[in-house]
Structure 1
Amino acid sequence: MASFTLHGIPVSRGIAIGRAHLLTRAALDVKHYLIPEEQVEAEVQRLQKAIATVHKELQTIWNELPKDSPAELGAFIDVHALILSDPMIAEVPLDIIRTRYYNAEWALVTQIDELSSQFDEIEDAYLRERKADIQQVGERVLKVLTGTAATQLAGSSTDEATGRMIIVAHDISPADMLQFKDRAFGGFVTDLGGQNSHTAIVARSLDIPAAVGMFNASALIQQDDWVIIDGDAGVVIVDPTATLLEQYRERQTRLIRDRKKLSKLRKTPSITEDGTEIALLANIELPEDCAAAMESGAAGVGLFRSEFLFMGRTGVSHKLPSEDEQFESYRKAVLAMKGRPVTIRTLDIGADKPLDDAEQTALNPALGLRAIRFCLAEPQMFLAQLRAILRASAFGPVRLLVPMMAHSFEIDQTLAMIEQAKTQLREAGQKFDPLIPVGAMIEIPAAALTLPMFVKKMDFLSIGTNDLIQYTLAIDRADHEVAHLYNPLHPAVLYLLSSTISIGTKAGVPVAVCGEMAGDVRLTRLLLGMGLREFSMHPRQLLAVKQEILNSDLNVLAPQVKKILKSYDPVAIAEAVEQLRGE
């Protein structure tokens, strides 16, 4: 068989080499047939029994989680259990059986397809990829219904002498990952998924090379094929030549050696060659992520995405996390960081994922009622979250970060609601930090272009480069038709970045970058040269970025970057940025 290469989405660094092991799936393509009226309740009970069986499976998996498992695994299993309990899964398919006389499998798939289409409309990339969780839960129930409950690896034993096992699947759930944890398991290749899919998050937490979004990899790759995963590039090479295999083995050995060297930098202060201190913080999704942040030597949490607490609750608005539930989660993170600051971002979802089923999905969610717009439109929900964050600030340094602000009145209304939340807590006799810093995410071009009104009223700024690039270039990052236009080095993006850092710094307002650019070592020196002094990224990226900082001299970088910012030639800019790392 001739060698061929597949291109997908890089989600976890490193190189994996091994034999392909295909993971069979209970496809959502099932038999469709109508059942007689007298058998309706028996069919309803068959589906109910399958759902109950999956509940038990998930509970057993959760109870048997190895102590050294990443915290994300337990959390994602909890999410799957929540989805399974949701009336949209647990009750609506039963109604479909009773009213349309569909067989159980058909009824379940009909509802899964309906929910999946709703998730396709979501603008937020993290939330949109929760569609995969619903489909994974559906597949687990289908496996019970069809009698294929055990997720099987196609035969063939792993030959330790010749290579580790590379899992190739259409998609894989966090629960299914557990069965491979103690095996000679080197990496993942999946047809589905994106940067924020659970497969990607767990791959990063396990520090396992993975490439997702490969579309038809599971159809093209055959059992026992030799496979190379280049996690940095999101490339999978199938049946490589002997020469190519040897080259990647050498690269893999070099990467492992470099990783070991990086680990020695954990306690090294993050200071440039010219003596400038740079703050390196971690982005987290769960309080349990704080362990990885501490292990990487992070100076704090620069972005706690609070949306995760609201996940897995589709269609059950009455089950939104209570103030106390949120408070416990925030407090856990604050305590885990042992005195280091924790920046908590307020809820960043909206009309693209209605909390009430009666609400209409926005026609263009990216430009709709989302983030702070949504929170200001739902004051009681917002006040509950603000009180929870404020209460957590009594246990350690907390910073409150507000997403997607662009208007002066949004700033004023948000600050007024924070004061209202403080008053409510005082009246209730609850402790909080009265001087909690309040910051704005700069992710809309309008905000970057009117920064003076932000620096007058906010204590700090954090640039969300993912959305800033998306809005500046008017593209949807998740749309494969235009994804190639997503370019962090576009002159307009660089102008907005540099001017935000410059204006904030001159006003004495700290500026951070918490988007993907912060963790990209190819851009570290560019951002340093712009004047950035605070980076926030996934904990796994932190030491590599620190190494770049330790080898940088701002006196050399600043004039070079100033010259780059004057250019409008994309090729020249890319070459100049690459040359920064050669200094």
Structure 2
Amino acid sequence: MASFSLHGIPVSRGIAIGRAHLLAPAALDVKHYLVQEEHLEAEVTRLREALATVHRELQTLWNDLPKDAPTELGAFIDVHALILSDPMISEAPLDIIRTRHYNAEWALLTQIDELSAQFDEIEDPYLRERKADIQQVAERVLKVLMGTEPLPVQDDDDPDGFKAQMIVVAHDISPADMLKFRDRSFIGFITDVGGQNSHTAIVARSLDIPAAVGMSQASTLIEQDDWVIIDGDTGVVIANPSALVLDQYRERQLQQQRARKKLQKLKKTASVTKDGTAITLLANIELPEDCEAAMEAGAHGVGLFRSEFLFMGRAGSIPSEDEQFEQYRKAAEMMKGRVVTIRTLDLGADKPLDQADHTALNPALGLRAIRYCLAEPQLFLSQLRAILRASVYGKVRILIPMLAHAFEIDQALAMIEQAKGQLREAGLPYDATVEVGAMIEIPAAALSLPMFVKRMDFLSIGTNDLIQYTLAIDRVDYEVAHLYNPLHPAVLQLIAMTIAAGHKAGIDVAVCGEMAGDVKLTRLLLGMGLREFSMHPAQLLAVKQEILNSDLGLIMPQTRKILRAVEPNAIADAVQALQAL
């Protein structure tokens, strides 16, 4: 078969080369037939038993989670178990069997189609991902009903002398199935749907497995057992590569493996540029357990603790102040005196606390992050008290997301003072000098920096949202993913302005978005004056290597030229040229 390439969204770095294993949706093979009256209850029982079987499967997956499994996997399994227990899944299809006389598979599929249609009417990235979760749960039930096994028998025979490793190709893959694949010969995956922040993307990054999502027609164009190459750095997939291309990618793969081994030697090396400028490298974490990976990578501290992950996957229940305190304290202690920057709740948009109550037409522009917290003062105060109590156990900082207005800053600072007062009254200790910073992720914030530097102790640029809001792009929508461009001149101007304003005011400025972990952009950010990077721990050593090879005397003049440029091709070429300096 002729070779062809597909272009999607890169979500996890590295190169994977293997045979394609197609996961055909069970829904495609569902038979439709009417059940006679006297057999209806037997059909109801068949569906109930299938639901119970999937419940047991999920419980087994949870119990058997390996110690090194990403913490996100447990949360995703919990979400699927909750969906399975919802009456819309566990009861409604039974009514369809009884009233319409549909067979169990048809009844379940009918209900899922109706639910999916409802989700399609909601313009919300988080809810779109929840639609995928519901479909993944239904897939598991359908496979039980139909007696199909989604995973292949491993075969290590390979005519080319390479171990036949498996690249999974599917319309979508559930996190639970990914865990099963991980125990086999699974080295990468390709999906038709998904975005940078879909569950499959998050798990891929956590497992450090090459992946490409949002490939549109991959599962229909790629055939079973085709040789497939995933270039996770670019989001390119090559099917049926020629012998020459295959050899080229195998060589690149070996080079990457050798480079990774070399990087491990940099763990204890100081992160200093060639001309002697020290750079601070921080880690982004979701849960306290991630501190171990941060310490292992040699991080100077935590630049972003995404505290909302403590609140998610809990069926709407909220962790108590004491529960939060224990988690924040644990992180502070694990970092052994290094800074731990805890971002207050960034709920809303793609991370609602309660999906049922989250019906805004465009939540990304609605009640999210600090807006949500100010609207729920008791929830906010509880978190602030927990963070302040943890500040006794390490160098803890508070980071406020999505600020845009002076009154929001003033209200947030007033509530921090109120939380301190409540702790004093209760006789509970806290660090009275705890620093408070602002996330710069809205263009309005970047264009009104004087009011921020006047009030805050430090700034952190959230490039993911800053790009999204500047370019009016839903960053998890694969249909507009090609428009998401960190090198857009407007984005670069906003970042450069923020760094310059921080320096002028004498306060620290970090970048904690995806740009911080992209080695192709490290020199550009250094040239803009950035001295504090915060990223996923897995990216830290590669960025450190780039820093060690950088000479600011050469980079900064070229960066000034880039910031004056407006043509996309000229900017891209100039950024690439920085790599040669």
Same fold (TM over 0.5): yes
Paired AA for residue 381 in structure 1: L
Does the CA contact (< 8 Å) of 2:171 and 2:192 recur in 1?
yes
**Displacement of 1:68 after TM fit?**
3.9
**Displacement of 1:509 after TM fit?**
1.5
Q: What residue in structure 1 maps to residue 143 of structure 2? A: 143
Does the CA contact (< 8 Å) of 2:27 and 2:109 recur in 1?
no
Does the CA contact (< 8 Å) of 2:338 and 2:395 recur in 1?
yes
SS of residue in 2 equivalent to 1:186: strand
CA displacement, residues 76-98 of structure 1 (integer Å, 9 cap, x when unaligned) = 33343344345554566567777
Q: What residue in structure 1 maps to residue 266 of structure 2? A: 265
**Displacement of 1:133 after TM fit?**
3.0
Does the CA contact (< 8 Å) of 2:126 and 2:351 recur in 1?
no
Q: What residue in structure 1 maps to residue 21 of structure 2? A: 21
Distance 1:34 1:459 in 2: 68
Does the CA contact (< 8 Å) of 1:14 and 1:252 recur in 2?
yes
Does the CA contact (< 8 Å) of 2:460 and 2:510 recur in 1?
yes
Q: What residue in structure 1 maps to residue 222 of structure 2? A: 221
Taking a change above 3 Å as real, the CA distance of residues 470 and 201 of structure 1, as seen in their structure-2 partners, is closer
Does the CA contact (< 8 Å) of 2:11 and 2:212 recur in 1?
yes
Does the CA contact (< 8 Å) of 1:350 and 1:370 recur in 2?
yes
Q: Give the stretch that moved more between structures: 138-147 or 437-446.
A: 138-147
Q: What residue in structure 2 maps to residue 242 of structure 1? A: 243
Distance 1:422 1:557 in 2: 44
Taking a change above 3 Å as real, the CA distance of residues 299 and 88 of structure 1, as seen in their structure-2 partners, is farther
Q: Give the stretch that moved more between structures: 109-118 or 219-228.
A: 109-118
Paired AA for residue 60 in structure 1: T
Q: What residue in structure 2 maps to residue 391 of structure 1? A: 389
Q: What residue in structure 2 maps to residue 211 of structure 1? A: 212
Does the CA contact (< 8 Å) of 1:125 and 1:196 recur in 2?
no
Q: What residue in structure 1 maps to residue 492 of structure 2? A: 494
Does the CA contact (< 8 Å) of 2:487 and 2:572 recur in 1?
yes
Residue 255 in structure 1 maps to residue 253 in structure 2: no
Distance 1:454 1:250 in 2: 49
Residue 516 in structure 1 maps to residue 517 in structure 2: no
Taking a change above 3 Å as real, the CA distance of residues 351 and 4 of structure 1, as seen in their structure-2 partners, is closer
Distance 2:358 2:79 in 1: 24
**Displacement of 1:447 after TM fit?**
0.5
SS of residue in 2 equivalent to 1:129: helix
CA displacement, residues 367-417 of structure 1 (integer Å, 9 cap, x when unaligned) = 212211122112222222223323332332222211111001111111122
Does the CA contact (< 8 Å) of 2:325 and 2:389 recur in 1?
yes
Q: Give the stretch that moved more between structures: 337-346 or 244-253.
A: 337-346
CA displacement, residues 199-250 of structure 1 (integer Å, 9 cap, x when unaligned) = 2222222322111222222222222211111111111111111111111111
Aligned length: 579
Q: What residue in structure 1 maps to residue 300 of structure 2? A: 299
Paired AA for residue 342 in structure 2: I
SS of residue in 1 equivalent to 2:397: strand
Q: What residue in structure 1 maps to residue 53 of structure 2? A: 53
SS of residue in 2 equivalent to 1:280: strand
Residue 134 in structure 1 maps to residue 134 in structure 2: yes
Distance 1:70 1:356 in 2: 24
Does the CA contact (< 8 Å) of 2:195 and 2:478 recur in 1?
no
Taking a change above 3 Å as real, the CA distance of residues 570 and 171 of structure 1, as seen in their structure-2 partners, is closer
Q: What residue in structure 1 maps to residue 10 of structure 2? A: 10
Matches within 5 A, 1:354-393: 355=353, 359=357, 361-393=359-391
Taking a change above 3 Å as real, the CA distance of residues 374 and 441 of structure 1, as seen in their structure-2 partners, is same
Q: Give the stretch that moved more between structures: 288-297 or 82-91.
A: 82-91
Does the CA contact (< 8 Å) of 1:72 and 1:288 recur in 2?
no
Taking a change above 3 Å as real, the CA distance of residues 8 and 394 of structure 1, as seen in their structure-2 partners, is same
Taking a change above 3 Å as real, the CA distance of residues 71 and 310 of structure 1, as seen in their structure-2 partners, is closer
Distance 1:355 1:182 in 2: 32
Distance 1:405 1:548 in 2: 32
**Displacement of 1:47 after TM fit?**
4.3
Taking a change above 3 Å as real, the CA distance of residues 36 and 519 of structure 1, as seen in their structure-2 partners, is same
Does the CA contact (< 8 Å) of 1:400 and 1:436 recur in 2?
yes
Does the CA contact (< 8 Å) of 1:72 and 1:286 recur in 2?
no
Residue among 566, 569, 581 paired with 2:567:
569
**Displacement of 1:503 after TM fit?**
0.7
Distance 1:14 1:525 in 2: 21
**Displacement of 1:433 after TM fit?**
2.5
Q: What residue in structure 1 maps to residue 180 of structure 2? A: 179
Paired AA for residue 490 in structure 1: H
**Displacement of 1:449 after TM fit?**
0.7
Matches within 5 A, 1:31-42: none
Taking a change above 3 Å as real, the CA distance of residues 273 and 58 of structure 1, as seen in their structure-2 partners, is same
Distance 1:286 1:321 in 2: 14
Does the CA contact (< 8 Å) of 1:156 and 1:224 recur in 2?
no
SS of residue in 2 equivalent to 1:523: helix
Distance 2:207 2:63 in 1: 20
Distance 1:151 1:217 in 2: 18
Distance 1:262 1:68 in 2: 21
Does the CA contact (< 8 Å) of 1:354 and 1:361 recur in 2?
no
Paired AA for residue 438 in structure 1: V
Q: Give the stretch that moved more between structures: 66-75 or 335-344.
A: 66-75
SS of residue in 2 equivalent to 1:11: strand
Does the CA contact (< 8 Å) of 1:13 and 1:232 recur in 2?
yes
Taking a change above 3 Å as real, the CA distance of residues 341 and 105 of structure 1, as seen in their structure-2 partners, is farther
Does the CA contact (< 8 Å) of 1:79 and 1:312 recur in 2?
yes
Paired AA for residue 521 in structure 1: V
Distance 1:351 1:196 in 2: 12
Unaligned runs of 5+ in 1: none
Over aligned residues, Cα RMSD in angstroms? 3.0
Q: Give the stretch that moved more between structures: 553-562 or 456-465.
A: 553-562
CA displacement, residues 143-179 of structure 1 (integer Å, 9 cap, x when unaligned) = 233433x323278655393342222222222322333
Paired AA for residue 180 in structure 2: Q
Residue 63 in structure 1 maps to residue 48 in structure 2: no
**Identical-residue share of aligned pairs (%):** 77
Residue among 541, 552, 556 paired with 1:558:
556
Q: What residue in structure 2 maps to residue 400 of structure 1? A: 398
Does the CA contact (< 8 Å) of 1:353 and 1:361 recur in 2?
no
Paired AA for residue 268 in structure 2: K
Paired AA for residue 387 in structure 1: R
Residue among 420, 423, 442 paired with 1:422:
420
TM-score between the two structures when normalised by the length of structure 1: 0.90
**Displacement of 1:343 after TM fit?**
1.7
Taking a change above 3 Å as real, the CA distance of residues 443 and 122 of structure 1, as seen in their structure-2 partners, is farther
CA displacement, residues 467-504 of structure 1 (integer Å, 9 cap, x when unaligned) = 11122222333344443332222222111111110111
**Displacement of 1:263 after TM fit?**
1.4
Distance 1:582 1:463 in 2: 27
**Displacement of 1:41 after TM fit?**
6.8
Residue among 440, 443, 446 paired with 1:442:
440
Q: What residue in structure 1 maps to residue 336 of structure 2? A: 338
SS of residue in 2 equivalent to 1:166: strand
Distance 2:331 2:145 in 1: 40
Taking a change above 3 Å as real, the CA distance of residues 347 and 46 of structure 1, as seen in their structure-2 partners, is farther
Taking a change above 3 Å as real, the CA distance of residues 482 and 21 of structure 1, as seen in their structure-2 partners, is closer
**Displacement of 1:321 after TM fit?**
3.1
Distance 1:111 1:325 in 2: 38
